[in-house]
Amino acid sequence: MLKWGILGLGKIAHSFVKDLLLVDGNEVKGLASRSESKAIDFKNEFKLSASTYGSYSELFLDPMIDIVYIATPHDSHKQLSIEAMSFGKHVLCEKPMAVNAADAKEMIEASKEYNVFLMEALWSRFNPAIRQVNKLVSDGAIGDVNYINVDFSHQMINANVSSRLYNLDLAGGSLLDMGIYPIFLSYLLLGMPKEILATARFHQTGADVQTSAILKYEEAISLVLSSFESHSDMVAKVFGTEGKIFINSRWHEAEGFVIEKDGHREMISVPKQGKGYTHEIMECQIQIEEGHIESDMWSHNDTLNLISILDEIREKIGLVYPFETSNSQ
Ligand SMILES: NC(=O)c1ccc[n+]([C@@H]2O[C@H](COP(=O)([O-])OP(=O)(O)OC[C@H]3O[C@@H](n4cnc5c(N)ncnc54)[C@H](OP(=O)(O)O)[C@@H]3O)[C@@H](O)[C@H]2O)c1
């Protein structure tokens, strides 16, 4: 039985725990919030038999916990993950695992030093439809991929500009929250780009509300976009020399795709379990059981590569988080 502690009881923690309860061999044993009454409410909501804590650090001392799921704003991921690992806990940390590559490296070093499992919760990597598309593309089913068009757009109606999404002190903005997904798909199917062009529009808080990048490869181009301001169809389009694949909306949590080739159009259904977090949860179980400190499907190096692309895009659009400036002084 893998015993989980959950840290930061916001929106994603709720969705994640719903899925965790669907996967055999997992149990929620600890809940930590900045407010213990919030942890108690969470425990009651899901009828859990878990300890509740009014601070994150207390949970790290709980000997019942094997793995900590970190679901706090991005800027806190590094410090909380390293602290958890220093207490011998495995860590599944929400995306982006770190706000920049330098921080991700420190986290990976800690995973090696304390010999514990560490993975970025890049759940789309484990989505069965995306896995099948990845397999088809690498088997050459649509020839050589030469163009990808993929976005993550959600119009924030009545946006709460005091939320973490618009708060630069919490590394808010569309790129790290949403843009990470289209860039992930491009990285998964084409690897590291040779050249990156990027532009963005900003909110008055300084958070990027729309960011678009062109990722140029030797034989292909990817157009990626993240946006708080528009509703798109969220269909990922992958074009090859011999066919094309459309991953169904919303592509990052898809349950199927369409493949068009030789004048034929086939719709392929690929069910997922729960909302889809189940698949990354199963990956943690397998890897921890086998004594590994990383997943080979979404490795430490994959996390580093992905955040390096985001770093370069940030450099191109001139986006620096306030805490990065003070660190470098
Ligand atoms: N994989 C996915 O599908 C997915 C989806 C959404 C978000 N995420 C990721 O998950 C993380 C959390 O996102 P979320 O949407 O769940 O955010 P959220 O609803 O704002 O929840 C974040 C939680 O973090 C804790 N927290 C600690 N310091 C905070 C601070 N200074 N300001 C606000 N909250 C603070 C709070 O929990 P307590 O009050 O209990 O301490 C809060 O409820 C982000 O890194 C995001 O990228 C992933």
Domain ranges in the chain are 2-123, 128-271
3-class DSSP assignment, residue 249: coil
CA of 191 to the centre of ligand 1 (A): 29
Please write the tens of the pLDDT for every residue from 76-131. 999 999 999 999 999 999 999 999 999 999 999 999 999 999 999 999 999 999 99
Q: Indicate the pTM of the whole model.
A: 0.98
Question: What does the alpha-carbon distance between residue 101 and residue 107 come to, in Å, rounded to a whole number?
Answer: 10
Q: Which atom of ligand 1 is nearest to the CA of 8?
A: 37
326 band by pLDDT with thresholds 50, 70 and 90: low
CA of 71 to the centre of ligand 1 (A): 5
Q: Which atom of ligand 1 is nearest to the CA of 180?
A: 47
Residue pair 228/156 in contact (Cβ under 8 Å)? The answer is: yes
- Please report, for residues 86, 132, 185, 206, 255, the alpha-carbon distance to residue 80 in angstroms, rounded to integers and kept in the order given: 10, 34, 27, 25, 33
Residues forming beta bridges with residue 221, ordered by sequence position: 147, 216
Please write the tens of the pLDDT for every residue from 304-325. 999 999 999 999 999 999 999 8
Q: What is the CATH number of domain 128-271?
A: 3.30.360.10
Distance of CA 31 to the CA centre of its chain: 21
Mutate which of 7, 11, 163, 272 for ligand 1 pocket (most atoms within 8 A of beta carbon): 11
Which class in CATH covers the domain with range 2-123? alpha beta
Strand-pair category, 51-53 with 195-202: unpaired
